[in-house]
Structure 1
Amino acid sequence: MRNTIIVALLFLIGSTPGQAGQPYPNAQATRADASAIQTETEWIRFTSPEGRFSLLLPHEPKFESVAATDSSGITNYRYSDIESGYGFICEYFDVASTAADPQSSLDITRDGIIRGASATKLREERISLNSYPGRELQLALKVNEGTDNSSHQNLSG
């Protein structure tokens, strides 16, 4: 039996602390403001050619397939949309089995992501996606010469 492990990653690149401005105390948003903001970025619905997932993104994501360099034979399938200040990555791997204990497989996947990104785990929660066990992670890491990055990930196996 083959199972699929899906990793979705959304990250936002933030500025250094203390540079964010405070809102004006009497500022109010109007409906005109909302429509102006919405038209700046028209989101598109993207559905993977395999039909495994569908989501809204500002741009069509780039697809790449990376074969394992070790003897595992696992291929990494990745859709990504990386912009200045924003990024989205959805990866999935077809694996022979997630073992008798799927939580153990999710632990191994989580640890590999954290180690590979040199990240720090900020928060983790066990979740269920359509009855499949999963994890919701929030990670902190440095990108672009030390810029703080907050990452929100969902793992499902």
Structure 2
Amino acid sequence: MTIKGLLPLIVATLLCSGTALVDARQPKNSVAPTKPKISQPVQPKWKLFTAPDGRFSILMPGVPIRNTQAQKTYMGVINLELFVAQPPKQEVAYIVAYNEFPYSYGQMANPQEILNNAQDLALKTTKSNLISQRNIRSSNGHPGKEIEYVNSGGKITKTRMYFAQGRLYQVMAISSKKQHKTLAKTITGYLNSFQVVLKT
């Protein structure tokens, strides 16, 4: 059993987020012209964000915008939850997305198969080329995968996916090639800060 039918909406939504990245522009000045100043990216204030249901936490540049969408699948209607933060004057979007599988499927599904299918679908739907991939685990031992890929428009996406307690989490940063190198440490710190909170 695969989940290929579950993720197109995630990818399509993320594509929209990736193409709506803000361009850094200098503000217009009404005073006499002076020597141009080199504008530096505005450094956002990073804060710990905890999901409304308490099931994950992560450092985010400000309060993310939440978007909930229902998707019809062969398993019934599955809700997709997205949390998106885009710092001003930076060409990057920070996103956490998850969907919850029905209990019976979550119990019998093969986590590695789910992660592999999610990777294949992300690359196919975005028409992207894989840069790197590796298997990882969450801080509390849940199976995961890290992938990095670039699409035809030059947007670079770095994603960590985890399958935990019936949920597929996707934690990602989408950036322009121009800012990818300067934001590399920030993106790694963001990805490292993600914590799955186990339900008891």
Query: What is the TM-score with the length of structure 1 in the denominator?
Result: 0.66
Q: 2:94: which partner in 1?
A: 88
Shift of 1:69: 3.4
Q: 2:54: which partner in 1?
A: 51
Q: Distance in 2 between matches of 1:40 and 1:153?
A: 22
In the alignment, is residue 132 of structure 1 matched against residue 142 of structure 2?
A: yes
Q: Distance in 2 between matches of 1:100 and 1:86?
A: 33
State the secondary structure of the residue aligned to 1:60: coil
Q: Distance in 2 between matches of 1:117 and 1:68?
A: 19
After TM superposition, what 4+ stretches of structure 1 lie above 3 angstroms from structure 2? 69-72
Shift of 1:154: 0.6
**Higher RCO, Cα 8 Å, sep 6+:** 1
Shift of 1:138: 0.7
Shift of 1:41: 2.5
Alpha-carbon spacing, 1:40–1:113, altered in 2? closer, same or farther (3 Å): closer
Which residue of 109, 114, 124 corresponds with 2:118? 109
Higher strand proportion (structure 1 or 2) = 1
Number of residues paired by the alignment?
A: 121
In the alignment, is residue 41 of structure 1 matched against residue 44 of structure 2?
A: yes
RMSD over aligned CA atoms reads: 2.6
Query: What is the TM-score with the length of structure 2 in the denominator?
Result: 0.53
State the secondary structure of the residue aligned to 1:68: strand
Identity of aligned residues (%): 22
Higher helix proportion (structure 1 or 2) = 2
In the alignment, is residue 79 of structure 1 matched against residue 89 of structure 2?
A: no
What are the ranges of 5 or more consecutive residues in structure 1 without an aligned counterpart? 1-6, 14-36
For residues 63-116 of structure 1, what are the alpha-carbon distances to aligned partners after superposition, in whole Å with 9 as ceiling and x for unaligned? 111111344322111111134401011111111324452211111111122222
Which residue of 154, 159, 170 corresponds with 1:153? 159
State the secondary structure of the residue aligned to 1:74: strand
